[in-house]
Structure 1
Amino acid sequence: MFELFQAIVMGVIEGVTEFLPVSSTGHMIIAQPLLGIDPELPQWRVFLVVSQLGAIAAVIVYFWRKLWQATFHPHQPGWSAHIIPKLLIAMAPAVLLQLVFKVNDLLEAYLEKPVPVAIALIIGAFLIWWIDSAFRTRRRMEVDDVTLLQAFLIGCAQCVAMCPGTSRSAATIMGGMMVGLSPSIAAEFSFFLAIPTMFGASAVRLWKYRGDLNTDGLAIILIGAAVSFLVALLVIAAFMSYIKRRRFTAFVVYRILLGVTVLVWWRFAAQAA
């Protein structure tokens, strides 16, 4: 049975981690056994999708003015006149890998476990530190400055996030910085790319788990999604302000500490068993 307390805690975890470079999927995988959640529970599988939709809704609300312009006034001057083609190009690599090779399904089957997640967290931390040190630029720019080639390369970087524990946010932001974007613009483009990417992934998962869709625990699932939405909205605002002034060092340290803690804990748990 999926309890209200579990839904609220997981909603907070999803909202906090979805758009930070720390891997929301990794945190969910690590938190499952700690909260006594059966990963095969139908309500849990549905919750993962619905809570992610709550987080995506936070992006839409936070950037609603720009999204409105991009959708209904695409020919007005400004970045939004060109953002949709760039997002489609950025989505292409991940869509191709999944449709043709089912890469995401294969990686989830073999790597969606705490130890691989912990290793990915640690490796990702060192990559974030290196990219933040070697590729950070402070030149003024807007999202409209993102070229089609840069969008495609960011999309290629996003494919790395198919490995649980990597973080889609980290992959796309660091990918953006490597192709010359400032941290804040890389993050903004990452947020916009999250909307079609995550909606598409959520739609696929809902179809995959369509047999689990029923009214059992629906209220609890929706409460968890609402928590995810509210927390994500606050986190997006704080994160956009944070990266304009500071480096990613705090996230590097956090990923290493969490990864090492999980490895040590799993080692002792295995010995105790």
Structure 2
Amino acid sequence: MDWFYAIIYGIVEGITEFLPISSTGHLILTGHLMGVPWSKEVKDTFEVVIQGGAILAVLAYYWRDFLKIRHIATDRSQQRLWTGVVIACIPAVVLGLLFGSQIKELLFRPSVVAWALIVGGVLIWLIESRRVQPQVHDIEQISAPKALMIGAAQCLALLWPGFSRSASSILGGMLLGLDRPTATRFSFYLGVPTLGGAALLDFLKSRELLGQIGLLNVLLGAGVSFVVAYAAIGWLLRFVSSHDFKPFAIYRVVVGALILVLIAAGVIGNGSLA
């Protein structure tokens, strides 16, 4: 059954990684509902490593844009863009290195994730209701200070598991004057070093754990994640071009409430997942 679990995990990861609905929350719910027999260590490592498939989907979707980086020595717009991406990564890298293990130990539990989904949903609704006139319509126009503040907003997902990295970075961008498509696209770009680095580090540190379920199953999960995430990226970009994020706000509150109900009913335990 390991191959079946790998496929389902890949589908859930691919759909939820870049949508503002928290891949962490959905993977927790998926693992518990399927009764995956893997140890917590194996599940945690597998979930992080298959993020690599979602990251490859971003590289594939924007391959023409990423190729432009070869002109960074002479192209001012490329310099501004990638300087902003690097700067935005700094808060998460620092926070993860200093407090990552403590956050996992203390906060990585279903009830915390459920409340993060609910509170994040409410914040999405409130931010969308403010109707702020966007001033930035291209990721190459994002200034270094704005990039740093978006990176700081992204840290909310590290401090509060289940809040969603994409939600925190997109909402941070919108509050700073980015329009929805620009904030969404910058979140995709920002995910490449942030999630890619985490996936690679986890694989190198814990690859022996993945041997318990087989390399082919890991590749299967990452491959499914790649295909589904590629489709999800295209869909989300089309969606935000003409819709706001309020449907995601409603969805988050419903899923968060469902997790709390399942915890109360004893279907999902509320112990640490780290």
TM above 0.5, yes or no, is yes
Q: 1:33 to 1:200 in 2, by over 3 A?
A: same
Report how far residue 38 of structure 1 moved.
Answer: 4.1
Q: Does structure 2 conserve the Cα–Cα contact (< 8 Å) formed by 1:177 and 1:183?
A: yes
Q: Secondary structure at the match of 1:245?
A: coil
What is the aligned partner in structure 2 of residue 107 from structure 1? 103
| CA displacement, residues 76-126 of structure 1 (integer Å, 9 cap, x when unaligned) | 557423211111110111111222x32x32222222222111111000001
Question: Is the Cα contact below 8 Å between 1:132 and 1:174 reproduced in 2?
Answer: no
Pick from 132, 143, 146 the counterpart of residue 142 of structure 2. 146
Corresponding residue of 1:89: 87
Contact 1:183 1:243 in 2 (8 A): yes
SS in 2 for 1:255: helix
Q: Equivalents in 2 of 1:95, 1:140: separation in Å?
A: 26
- Flag the 1:123–1:140 CA change in 2: closer, same or farther, 3 A: closer
State the secondary structure of the residue aligned to 2:162: coil
Distance 1:270 1:19, change over 3 A: closer
Pair 1:172 & 2:169 matched: yes
Q: CA deviation at 1:140?
A: 6.5
Deviation at 1:141, TM superposition (A): 1.8
Instruction: Determine whether 1:35 maps to 2:34.
Output: yes
Query: How far apart, in 1, do the equivalents of 2:25 and 2:255 lie?
Result: 10
Tell me whether 16-25 or 4-13 shows the greater mean CA deviation: 4-13
1:266 Cα shift? 1.4
Residue 222 to residue 270, structure 1, CA distance change in 2 (3 Å): closer
Contact 1:136 1:183 in 2 (8 A): no
1:232 aligns with 2:226: no
Separation in structure 2 between the aligned mates of residue 149 and residue 140 of structure 1, nearest angstrom:
13
| 1:15 aligned residue | 14
Tell me the secondary structure at the aligned position of residue 163 of structure 2.
Answer: coil
- Work out the CA distance in 1 between the residues paired with 2:101 and 2:201: 11
Counterpart for residue 61 of structure 1: 60
Alignment partner of 1:129 out of 118, 125, 128: 125
> Does structure 2 conserve the Cα–Cα contact (< 8 Å) formed by 1:79 and 1:142?
no
The match for 2:271 is: none
Distance 2:136 2:146 in 1: 17
For the pair 1:119 / 2:118, whether they are aligned, the reply is no
How far apart in 2 are the matches of 1:135 and 1:191?
23
Q: Secondary structure at the match of 1:185?
A: helix
Equivalents in 1 of 2:172, 2:38: separation in Å? 31
* Deviation readout 1:39-98 (Å, 9 max, x if unpaired): 62565344213310000000000011111102x112455742321111111011111122
3-state DSSP of counterpart to 2:173:
helix
CA distance in 2, matches of 1:216, 1:40: 11
Residue 223 of structure 1 deviates from its aligned partner by 1.1
* Residue 179 of structure 2: aligned partner: 182
Q: 1:165 to 1:45 in 2, by over 3 A?
A: closer
Q: Which amino acid is 1:36 matched to? A: G
Stretch moving more, 120-129 or 213-222: 213-222
Give the 3-state SS of the residue equivalent to 2:105 in structure 1.
helix
Q: 1:159-181: CA deviations, max 9, x gaps?
A: 00112110000000000011111
Tell me if the contact between 2:136 and 2:177 (Cα under 8 Å) persists in the aligned partners. Answer: no
1:195 CA drift (Å) = 0.3
Match of 1:259 among 256, 259, 263: 256
What TM-score do the two structures reach when normalised by structure 2? 0.91
Answer whether contact 2:92 2:151 (CA < 8 A) is retained. Answer: yes
Runs of 4+ in 1 over 6 A off after TM superposition: none
Shift of 1:210: 3.7
Alpha-carbon distance between aligned partners in 2 of 1:43 and 1:85, rounded to the nearest angstrom: 35
Q: Secondary structure at the match of 2:68?
A: helix
Distance in 2, Cα, partners of 1:244 & 1:78: 27
Cα distance in 2 between the residues matched to 1:106 and 1:39: 23
Instruction: Report sequence identity in percent.
Output: 38
Number of positions where the alignment pairs a residue of Structure 1 with one of Structure 2: 268
* Mapped partners of 1:202, 1:15: distance in 2: 14
Question: Which of 252, 265, 268 is matched with 2:265 structurally?
Answer: 268
| 2:243 counterpart (240, 246, 266) | 246
Give the gaps of 5 or more residues in structure 1. none
Alpha carbon RMSD of aligned pairs, Å? Answer: 2.1
